[in-house]
Amino acid sequence: MKVNGDTFGRRELLRRAGGIEQIADIRPVQYFSGDANLVKAYDIDTGGGLEFSVNENKCLDIFKMKYKGINLGFASKAGLHSPYNADQRNTSFLYSQGCGMLYTAGLANVGGACADEGDEQYGHGRVKNIAARNVSARGTWDKDEYRIKILGDMHEAAFFGRNLVLHREIETMAGSRSIHITDTVENLDFKEDGFMLLYHLNTGYPLLDEGAEYVTAIRRIEPMSDISREHLKQAGEISAPLDNVPEDLYCIEAGCDRDGYGAACLVNRTLMIGLYVKFRVDQLPYMVEWKSMKAGDYALGMLPANCRPIGRLAAKEQHDLRMLKPFESCTMELEIGILDGEKELEKFLGYIAVMK
């Protein structure tokens, strides 16, 4: 493993430290006040400059993330809310939508609230406020690497209704600057069901700032509103916060490398760091860009998805809903990581530039 630029084996590292926890650790915590009361989480420090928190009873989503003390994610004005006081109906969800670095949209709906065959669908779905079951969170040595892993299952299931399960695995290593997420969605019902999944990866200040640049590989780009169509040429540009401006939303059919991986990144050359996401295009064919330059709601979302963010009802009407047969499953892989320094930034931008 690498610590402060030096490479150590297990023995060599433990000569210098009383235990691995001196360098990297995973720590269970619980919130006891305010709207976040009763949120259970795991705080992870990789020892490579990367720190992040995973919320156990909110879909094992990632709320906080920092690199060398620099905040990377977007926390909304609503703040972190316990799933037990989150009203998800209609637009009420905005009062408990803390966003954070990553929240999961789905499993039955991505997009605005709607009703499908009498079944109420919340904005961006229910799963973001479902508590994980069968949770395992631990760090273990694997020869000379120290692996930190969190596992858990989220059940979106109803009496006389659907039975979708999201099996999630989050892994990083001591000294690492990246996180790997492996999700498997399984239909445990005895009838076919559609599922929609979008990874709402939200960047915020100071990583997001005037002059930063959003870059991804584009096969086709679809503005999702009239105002987004007007702003299409500036889709990758980041301005300073502006008062009372609408959000932009673009649905991008993602390009990929020779191995089938797509990617996007936000580059801040003032800080000389970037945040990237990689994903398999055969699993997640869309890279949705959510851009809010509004003062107080200043954020950029890089959102890999298996669907367009149009809501379940519209997706069904347009025959664009991914279906799972009884007991069929589908796996998605995601990597979120840090680019540090001009050399790494330019190399990754060059990698995206040759994608098709």
**Residues above pLDDT 70, as percent of the chain:** 100
Phi, psi of 338 (to 5 degrees): -110, 140
In angstroms, rounded to a whole number, what is the distance separating the alpha carbons of residues 279 and 243?
A: 34
Q: How far apart are CA 45 and CA 66, in angstroms?
A: 10
For residues 210 and 228, what is the distance between their CA atoms, to the nearest angstrom? 19
CB proximity list for 82: less than 8 A, separation 6 or greater:
31, 35, 36, 37, 38, 39, 57
Number of compact structural domains in the chain: 1
> How far, in Å, CA of 210 to CA of 300, rounded?
12
One pLDDT digit (tens) per residue for the chain, 356 residues: 887 778 888 999 899 998 999 999 999 999 999 999 999 999 999 999 999 999 999 999 999 999 999 999 999 999 999 999 988 888 788 899 999 999 999 999 999 999 888 889 999 999 999 999 999 999 999 999 999 999 999 999 999 999 999 999 999 999 999 999 999 999 999 999 999 999 999 999 999 999 999 999 999 999 999 999 999 999 999 999 999 999 999 999 999 999 999 999 999 999 999 999 999 999 999 999 999 999 999 999 999 999 999 999 999 999 999 999 999 999 999 999 999 999 999 999 999 999 99
Which residues are CB-neighbours of 220 under 8 A, at least 6 positions away?
252, 253
pLDDT score for 219? 97
Residue reference for tokens 């709601």: 297
Query: What count of other Cβ atoms lies within 10 Å of the Cβ of residue 21?
Result: 13
Which residues lie closer than 8 Å to 150 by C-beta, 6 or more apart? Answer: 26, 42, 54, 60, 135, 136, 137, 168, 169, 170, 171
| H-helix or E-strand spanning residue 345 | helix 342-353
Q: Is there a contact between 52 and 66 (Cβ–Cβ < 8 Å)?
A: yes
The reported pLDDT for the residue numbered 3 is 79
d(Cα 163, Cα 14) in Å, to the nearest integer? 47
Strand partners, 237: 213
Give the pLDDT of residue 267: 98
Q: Is 349 exposed, middle or buried (0-12, 13-18, 19+ CB in 10 A)?
A: middle
**Residue 266 is inside which H or E element, if any?**
strand 261-268
Q: What is the pLDDT of residue 237?
A: 97
Chain position carrying tokens 């994980």: 132
| Rounded Cα gap, residues 287 and 279, in angstroms | 9
pTM over 0.95: yes
Closest by CA to 26, choosing from 135, 152, 179, 174, is 174
Range of the domain at 233: 2-353
Nearest to 41 by CA among 183, 170, 147: 170
CB 151 within 8 A of CB 180: no
Query: Which CATH number goes with the domain that contains 75?
Result: 2.70.98.10
